């Protein structure tokens, strides 16, 4: 397996974790969507059973224009595309400027291979509907959903300037306990609003957190990309939005119940929040592996490595808070994001 930098496109061996040029966390050169067979193989390995046969489906690639190369184009005579700022398995993200007001926006455009899929479109529409409710200073909300000629579908969001948390982690190595407590408290506040609305993020990770500065230079954390978010509703239509046998998310930060394809609630996001806290403080993850499957197996079979193993100066109470919310069952964890943030703050004091 090879690893790829999502920023510069550089290719590395499977033992590399970060790009040496950009400092960005590497992703697998293949698709980041994990099938049920991947999960079944990992769980079977954890149980000592032979892995089931794996079926690999072809993934459509994006064309050179109209989606992956929008720079210089204008959407609806209003949004002038300035440059591409990121891409993922389901979308391309561009910086755009409103030709009338001069305001800057982030435009997320659905990949062409997915634009024709009903499930993908339903997920994007749901993201727009849910994002409009998330008016919180620590959440990047979606302003509107647009559709242009040629089947180009996009969402409009405020353009937030700052440093991605994964880049910051790589730059500073270990975040101070005081800054970690501050950022986690802000992330927890944004998450709690989403959870109160019945929304689970499902892909909480450092790459989806932006550290911004105000005019006075004060830093704050903003939760980005609710593209995998799911409302905790029992309606059949909502349940069908994730195709049968498909698990969406990032393996390094998935909760055990998410790896197993079980129903998720806010406590799955709290698990990911605890892992992010651990990485900020230590520069490492509590479970390691060279492949997503190895990491999945470790999380299902092994206890997490205590944070004080990597950073002995941390208070033991902080380690206890982290270990509680990295428990394998949701019932053992802190039951809300503010509860976790408050416990972390008390432990740090």
Residue 2 DSSP code: -
Catalytic residue among 15, 22, 98, 203: 203
3-state secondary structure of 265: coil
For residues 177-186, one letter each, b for 16 or more C-beta atoms within 10 angstroms of the residue's C-beta and e for the rest, the string is bebbbbbbbb
Residues 6 or more apart in contact with residue 325 via CB below 8 angstroms? 270, 271, 273, 274, 333, 334, 340
Instruction: State the Cα–Cα distance between residues 123 and 229, nearest whole angstrom.
Output: 9
- Token pair 């302003």: residue: 143
Instruction: State the Cα–Cα distance between residues 177 and 277, nearest whole angstrom.
Output: 10
**Alpha carbon of 270 to those of 184, 265, 320, 330: distances in Å?**
11, 9, 15, 9
* Pairing, β 144-148 against β 152-158: antiparallel
Tell me how far the alpha carbon of residue 30 is from its chain's centroid.
17
Beta strands in 63-141 (DSSP E): 74-75, 79-87, 91-98, 104-110
Q: Is 22 a catalytic residue?
A: no
Enzyme catalytic residues? 203
């Amino acid at each position: 397996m090879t690893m790829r930098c999502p920023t510069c496109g550089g290719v590395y061996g499977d033992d590399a974790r970060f790009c040496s040029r950009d400092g960005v966390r590497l992703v697998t050169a293949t698709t980041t969507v994990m099938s049920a067979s991947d999960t079944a193989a990992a769980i079977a390995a954890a149980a000592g059973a032979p892995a089931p046969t794996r079926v690999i489906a072809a993934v459509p690639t994006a064309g050179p224009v109209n989606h992956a190369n929008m720079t210089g184009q204008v959407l609806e005579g209003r949004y002038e595309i300035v440059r591409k700022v990121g891409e993922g398995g389901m979308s391309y993200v561009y910086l755009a400027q409103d030709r009338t007001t001069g305001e800057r926006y982030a435009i997320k455009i659905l990949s062409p291979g997915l634009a024709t899929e009903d499930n993908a479109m339903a997920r994007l529409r749901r993201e727009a509907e849910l994002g409009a409710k998330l008016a919180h200073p620590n959440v990047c909300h979606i302003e509107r959903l647009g559709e242009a000629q040629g089947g180009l579908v996009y969402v409009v969001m405020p353009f937030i300037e700052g440093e991605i948390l994964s880049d910051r982690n790589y730059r500073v190595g270990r975040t101070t306990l005081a800054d970690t407590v501050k950022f986690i408290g802000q992330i927890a506040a944004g998450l709690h609003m989403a959870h109160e609305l019945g929304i689970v993020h499902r892909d909480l990770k450092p790459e989806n957190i932006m550290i911004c500065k105000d005019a006075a230079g004060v830093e704050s954390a903003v939760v980005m990309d609710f593209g995998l978010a799911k409302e905790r509703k029992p309606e059949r239509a909502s349940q069908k939005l994730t195709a049968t046998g498909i698990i969406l998310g990032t393996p390094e930060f998935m909760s055990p119940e998410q790896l197993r394809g079980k129903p998720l609630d806010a406590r799955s996001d709290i698990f990911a929040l605890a892992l992010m806290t651990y990485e900020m403080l230590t520069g490492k993850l509590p479970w390691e592996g060279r492949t997503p499957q190895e990491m999945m197996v470790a999380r299902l079979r092994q206890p997490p490595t205590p944070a004080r193993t990597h950073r002995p100066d941390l208070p033991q109470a902080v380690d206890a808070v982290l270990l509680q919310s990295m428990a394998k069952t949701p019932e053992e964890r802190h039951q809300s994001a503010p509860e976790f943030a408050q416990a972390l703050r008390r432990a740090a004091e």
